[in-house]
Amino acid sequence: MSGGAIAQICLRTAQRTVAAEQELQEVAPRTRVVHMDETTWWTSGVLHYLWLVATAAFSWFRVDPRRSHAVIVELLGKGARIVISDYYSAYRACTWLLHQWCWAQLIRDAKRIAELCPTVERLEFRDRLSAIYKAAVEAQSREGPEGEQARRVICQRLGKLRGCLRYAGDPELERLQRRLHQEVYGYLAFVGDPEVAPDNNRAERDLRPAVLLRKRRFQTRSDAGEVAFAHWMSLTQTLRKQGLELEPWLRQALAAYWQGTPLPSMFAPEPHSSSLPN
């Protein structure tokens, strides 16, 4: 079987199981906490972006030529929810969202600055920031008065770091201090909420297969191809997270398509819980 024939099979099967993505379109905007990320993707030699909305229960991908907050609105709507992401401007433009900015990215920035031109102040800032992060992760798991006290201490330590005059005169450190001053609550949202992660590792892991594929070959060659690719990424990753096998699900889905009945759900049944995935 030729590569072109395989591509046509994948395209037609994606079109016949498109209702599965409609299920994700309904679930994602009603989910309280989600991860989001995006990466470059090329379609017919034109730069597009592969967007992702992810939780422990599902992954929803979309390829779009835009890298703006308009895509976020289309994916999630304008309801209030917590979005864990990097500090990209498109997310900052969504002022109706509750943000948890990625600590891993923030610490990488501090480490890069310290390694690029090591000074006593830069090394100290990096170490203080890393220590605050470790203490905040520990405080997240504490409960009762002890947890409340630990969270107050974290806020105080971060406040002292962002206002420390020792770093005045270093434009890179001042830039990080301004970010902490403007987004202090966005970096500490996870401390009081056990469902919120302090980093965006989940989304980065979900995007990794696409990133590896991008390095080995050209991406998609048509609009239909990019839609099918995003569909298969959403389908395979969501089924994996739900503990469902792809082949049996596809057999049931294609049978439902030909019979004109609804496709099977991508979500494993939870008879004892009616809550949405976080």
CATH number at residue 20: 3.30.420
- The domain tally of the chain equals 2
Domain identity same for 158 and 91:
no
| 3-class SS of residue 27 | helix
Domain identity same for 83 and 207:
yes
Report if residue 161 sits inside a domain: yes
The model carries a pTM of: 0.91
Domain identity same for 91 and 218:
yes
pLDDT band at 276 (very low <50, low <70, confident <90, very high): low
Domain identity same for 21 and 80:
yes
- Residue 214: the pLDDT is 85
Domain identity same for 30 and 73:
yes
Residue ending a domain, choose from 155, 183, 211:
183
Report if residue 21 sits inside a domain: yes
Structure tokens at 224: 């239909």
3-state helix, strand, coil in the chain (%, to 5): 60, 15, 25
**Domain span including residue 245:** 3-99+200-259
Residues 6+ apart with CB under 8 A from 75: 28, 29, 36, 51, 53, 60, 62
Domain identity same for 121 and 83:
no
Report if residue 226 sits inside a domain: yes
Domain identity same for 59 and 8:
yes
pLDDT for residue 275 is more than 50: no
Summarize the confidence of residues 262-266 as an average pLDDT.
94
Distance separating alpha carbons of residues 225 and 230, to the nearest angstrom = 9
Distance separating alpha carbons of residues 31 and 47, to the nearest angstrom = 30
What amino acid is encoded at 225 in this protein?
G
Query: What are the DSSP calls for 222-273, one per residue?
Result: SHHHHHHHHHHHHHHHHHHHHT--HHHHHHHHHHHHHHT-PPPPSSPP-TT-
Residue ending a domain, choose from 148, 183, 218:
183
Distance separating alpha carbons of residues 132 and 205, to the nearest angstrom = 25
